Chain A
Amino acid sequence: MADEALRIPLTDAERAELRLRAVREGRTVGGLIADLIRADQARHGAGTAGGGGGSLGPAVLARFGIDPDSPQHRAIAERARAHVQPAGSRSEPGAA
């Protein structure tokens, strides 16, 4: 798991309350915030985006009569796949 610094805009009072809560629970502020975020994401059913590869892709191709095995589509698909990046990957500006 990669650690990343995240700037969270809180007032001094909010920050103080968060520190007090963390200490009261014997936790670090960072750990407390991470759990709060995970709980909120779980409530929203967000989870991590992507990776599922559902049925919409094939449905789009079928809707336009695109044969996934055609040379034209395979050529584009190969180029498209080259731009699929795992979450957290970083790219430099300019042509990717």
Chain B
Amino acid sequence: MSSAINPIVLDSSVLVGYERMKTPGSQALHETQSWVGEWLTDGVPLLVPGLSLAVASHECGGVLPELDFLIHGDPDQVIVVPLAHESAVAVGATSASLHGETLEIAHVTWCARGGEDDQTFRWRVATYWPDWYTAAGVPVIAL
């Protein structure tokens, strides 16, 4: 691969919008796919936090054919970020509660910080619910 580009983190709202092909709220068709397709074409690595994928799976009844196509399409560019030792500990410690939404926000935030302790380091989070991240201190791309 040539020049490096900052990854963008996709939260569950984007994953569900992508899978259902309709934008949350406006119900506009294929908007999310256009966003994702353009980023992929531009070589942007897309990070899918594991907890965001779990939430999306729950929302979609465990059937995710379009996300499966996306994730299997290029594992170097669409990266599912697992909860492993250090990330699990960090997510548990920083989550405001044990509710799924807050746990997801903690995992998304951990991904956006690139696994670094440096509080000034942040990748952007694409989301349809930018208010989720008001207290998280991460830059959001409000779709």
Report A's interface with B, CB cutoff 8 A: 7, 47-54, 56-61, 63-66, 68, 72-73, 76-77, 79-81, 83-96
Report B's interface with A, CB cutoff 8 A: 1-8, 21, 30-31, 33-45, 66, 69-70, 73-74, 76-79, 117, 120-124, 126, 130, 133, 136-142
> Quick one: which of A7, A48, A51, A57 contacts B37, CB cutoff 8 A?
A57
In the complex, A53→B134 CA distance in Å?
Answer: 31
Minimum CB–CB distance for A77 against chain B, Å = 4
> Quick one: which of B34, B78, B79, B142 contacts A76, CB cutoff 8 A?
B34
State the total of A-B contacts with C-beta under 8 angstroms. 150
Minimum CB–CB distance for A79 against chain B, Å = 8
Q: Are A63 and B139 in contact (CB under 8 A)?
A: no
24 A-B interface contacts by CB (under 8 A): A47-B1, A48-B4, A49-B1, A49-B5, A49-B45, A49-B76, A49-B79, A52-B76, A53-B40, A57-B40, A59-B73, A60-B37, A63-B69, A65-B30, A73-B37, A80-B38, A81-B42, A83-B124, A91-B123, A91-B139, A94-B140, A95-B139, A95-B140, A96-B140
